[in-house]
Structures are given as C-alpha cells and as structure tokens.
Amino acid sequence: MDRVYLDAATSLPVRREVLEEMLPFFTEHFGNPSSIHELGRIPREAVERSRGHVASLISADPSEIVFTSGATESINLAMRGVLPFLKERRKVIISSVDHMSVRATASALTSGGYVVEYLPVDDVGRIDIGAAERMIDEETAVVSFPFASSEVGTVQPAGELASLAHSAGALSHVDLTMSALQMPVDVGECGIDMATLSSPDLMGPKGVGALFIRKGVKITSLIKGGGQERNLRSGSENVPGIVGMGAAARIAGERMEEDPARMRVLRDRLIEGLTSIPESYLNGDPENRLPNNANVRFSYIEGESMLLMLDLNGISVSTGSACAQKTLEASKTLLAMGLKHEEAHGSLIFTLNPTNTEHDIEKVIEVMPGIVSELRAMSPIYNMKE
C-alpha cells in the first residue's frame, strides 16, 4: 500500500539533492573546520557557504546566523542567552499558541524569578495586538511568538509585535520553524531581533538548526567549550548536517514561489472536501494561513480514533505536535482559541509537503466520510443528538 503522508509538521523527508551534497562530508571532506590544513579548509568553506544560504532565505547577513543542534536549542539560546544583559527586566512574554519547546523554556525561567505571561489569541488563533500593547512594558525582557502557528497555520502579525517589543525596550524572538519553507521572510523588514530555524522543516537533515541574531543584540552562550560559532555554540561543527541545512535552505529559496503555490491548491481542495462532511469545520484563519495547513474538527468523535482508522487506510496525519501527542491532552492552541475540550479532541491536522499529489488528497477525501460515519455511529453523544 502506497502511504499518503500528510504529517509534514512533525517530520519531513530529506530532499535527495540535499543528501547528495552531504555525503562527501562524511567520508572525503571529514576534517575539522578549525584545522588550518586543507582537510579543514574545505569543510570550513562549506560551513560558511551554508551560512550564506540560510541567511539568504530570511534576508539576513551571514554573520547573523549561528548553527545549533536544532530548533529547541535555538529557542533556548534565544530566550535564555539574552537575559544576563537585561537583568533589570524580569518578565518574559510568549504566545498562547507557541510550540511546547517555547512553553517549556519559558516555564523553566520561573525558577529563576522570572514572570511568564501569555499573549491571548482570537478565535482563529491570531495574537491579540491590543492585549500585546497592554502587556509588553518596561519590565519585559523578551517577547517570543511563532511567525505562523504550527497547529492551525494562522500567520501572526510579526512586524507589529516586534515593533511593540522595541517600543518597550524588549527583544523579540520569532519561531520560523513552520514558515521558512513556505513563506518569504525578511527579518530586517519585520524588525525581528532573533529567529529560530530548523533544518528538518526545510527538508534537510535532523539534528541541525540555526538562530538568527540581529547585529547588536547581546547574547551569551549556553554551551561552553572550544568557542565555535563565534563563541556562541561550542562543540565541533556537524559539518554534514550544516551542509545539508544550507542546501535545503538554498533549494527552499529557489522554489519559494512554486512549492507553496502548489501546496496551497491541494490544501484548498482538501479543506473543501473535508468541510463538506456534515458538522465538520476548519480551525484557524481561513485566509491568512500557511499554504500547507488544514486543521479540521469533526463533531462528536475523537481525533485519536480518526487518526488510527486513517492509518489503517494508509494515511498519516496528526492530532497535534509530535511532542504533545504522547500526553493525549487537548491542544493548548485550540483551547486558547476558545474551543471546548471535546472540540479540540475532535480535531485533526493535515500538513502537506512539496511531494504530495492530487491523488493523495483525493484518497483522503474519499475515505474520510466513511470513517466519520462509522465513528459517529459508535458515539453516545452523537446518538443522543439524534
């Protein structure tokens, strides 16, 4: 059975072209970039070339890119690394639709005496600018938010939020993990101070990420050692991984018009087909959303049951972030948007990738009505309604 993969928000394949560029750095160009001989020079040049590709994707300067082990480390470096230079400011603000890695990092700061506040969102998952104006003040050190929600796809007002942070003398951190493959991002135009990027979400290798740090932002390292990455991230560089991330970023930039436009057409067809099922609804902003995201709730049934039945039909989807699915808790993002627990539990996330086809979408549209009908027939709540 050929599987239909619609869970791109949790993992993506590495592009074959990316893998091919990585391979020589495992066996031929294996030297340490810090070495001054030729076997060090070639990897060092490759790392800097990759830094340029990542910078170009978000319209940054290569000197503003620091490579890390992934998005989670980048988030920790951004949110924790600037605090020693903002000692008089004891408040950190994140959004109520942030990924678990941001939530956990912020929560850990409370043990050091920091106050964490959460920006509310409206019923489509968009951060409330009015609330942000009231909450961001001279006590605020960092304001962190996603460029777009990983769960419902709603694009956030990044420029406005960064401007509010600057007006109060605070720094802004933006999670670009979900958006960098799908949307043009100009960190300078948005006024962003720091931004997290993830290699696997660009169709590059896992175990690599990057943090954009605007020139002039003071930040200290969390990992001490040999002083690599301008002394901001010690440890011998993962050269094959960095080369892979650079290649993935370059290809993403080259295909920025073609791939998102194609995914948007498939996504719209998927939303049309799924919401034609009685009492099925789209979660998130119907217009201003990521081109690959369709978060749909189906009344009277649970997402886990639908996920398992789709899996038996060769279709992979999600009920939330991969980190959160283990707990089986209702999505904090959907609850923050005002959904009831049972509505949040009845939601599925379909996230496309550039390899998806019309056949994939039509297969989902074909099997989903039967799954919903079968599960509703077993639902006491649905039968009581009848």
User: What pLDDT is stored for residue 231 in this prediction?
Assistant: 83
Domain end (from 210, 226, 254): 254
Residue type, 345: H
User: 318 and 289 in one domain?
Assistant: yes
Domain end (from 198, 221, 254): 254
User: What pLDDT is stored for residue 58 in this prediction?
Assistant: 98
Number of domains in the chain: 2
User: 166 and 284 in one domain?
Assistant: no
User: 162 and 231 in one domain?
Assistant: yes
User: 306 and 190 in one domain?
Assistant: no
The neighbouring-strand residues paired with 95 are 119
Query: Distance between CA atoms of 9 and 69, rounded to whole angstroms?
Result: 18
CATH number of the domain encompassing residue 155: 3.40.640.10
CATH number of the domain encompassing residue 270: 3.90.1150.10
CA dihedral 189, 190, 194, 199 (to 10 degrees): -80
pLDDT digits (tens, 9 = 90+) for 11-62: 999 999 999 999 999 999 999 888 889 888 999 999 999 999 999 999 999 9
Looking at residue 331, what DSSP letter applies? P
User: What pLDDT is stored for residue 106 in this prediction?
Assistant: 97
The neighbouring-strand residues paired with 66 are 211
Domain span at 313: 4-12+256-385
User: What pLDDT is stored for residue 326 in this prediction?
Assistant: 55
Q: Which residues contact 145 (CB under 8 A, 6 or more apart)?
A: 94, 95, 98, 119, 127, 156, 158, 161, 172, 173, 174, 175
DSSP E strands: which ranges in 220-342?
A: 280-283, 293-298, 315-316
User: 371 and 317 in one domain?
Assistant: yes
Dig out the tokens for 113 from the structure. Answer: 């005496």
User: 120 and 132 in one domain?
Assistant: yes
Just list the catalytic residues.
323
User: 312 and 231 in one domain?
Assistant: no
User: 359 and 286 in one domain?
Assistant: yes
Contact 325, 274 (CB under 8 A): no
User: 180 and 318 in one domain?
Assistant: no
> How confident is the prediction along the chain (386 residues), in pLDDT tens digits per residue?
689 999 999 999 999 999 999 999 999 999 988 888 988 899 999 999 999 999 999 999 999 999 999 999 999 999 999 999 999 999 999 999 999 999 999 999 999 999 999 999 999 999 999 999 999 999 999 999 999 999 999 999 999 999 999 999 999 999 999 999 999 999 999 999 999 999 999 999 999 999 999 999 999 999 999 989 898 998 989 999 999 999 999 999 999 999 999 999 999 999 999 999 999 999 999 999 999 999 999 999 999 999 999 999 999 999 964 444 555 678 999 999 999 999 999 999 999 999 999 999 999 999 999 999 999 999 877 777 65
Query: Distance between CA atoms of 298 and 343, rounded to whole angstroms?
Result: 8
Contact 246, 67 (CB under 8 A): no
User: 144 and 99 in one domain?
Assistant: yes
User: What pLDDT is stored for residue 328 in this prediction?
Assistant: 64
User: 270 and 242 in one domain?
Assistant: no
User: What pLDDT is stored for residue 1 in this prediction?
Assistant: 65
User: 203 and 288 in one domain?
Assistant: no
Helix axes 358-377, 258-275, angle to 10 degrees: 30
The neighbouring-strand residues paired with 65 are 212
Query: Distance between CA atoms of 69 and 74, rounded to whole angstroms?
Result: 8
Residue 5 CB-half CA count within 13 A = 11
Long-range (24+ apart) CB contacts under 8 A made by 376-382 are: 376/300, 376/301, 379/300, 379/301, 381/300, 381/342, 382/299, 382/300, 382/301
Query: Distance between CA atoms of 277 and 296, rounded to whole angstroms?
Result: 11
Domain end (from 205, 239, 254): 254
Classify burial at 36, counting beta carbons within 10 Å of its beta carbon; exposed 0-12, middle 13-18, buried 19 or more.
exposed
User: What pLDDT is stored for residue 386 in this prediction?
Assistant: 58
Contact 121, 284 (CB under 8 A): no
CA-closest candidate to residue 379, choices 306, 301, 317, 308: 301
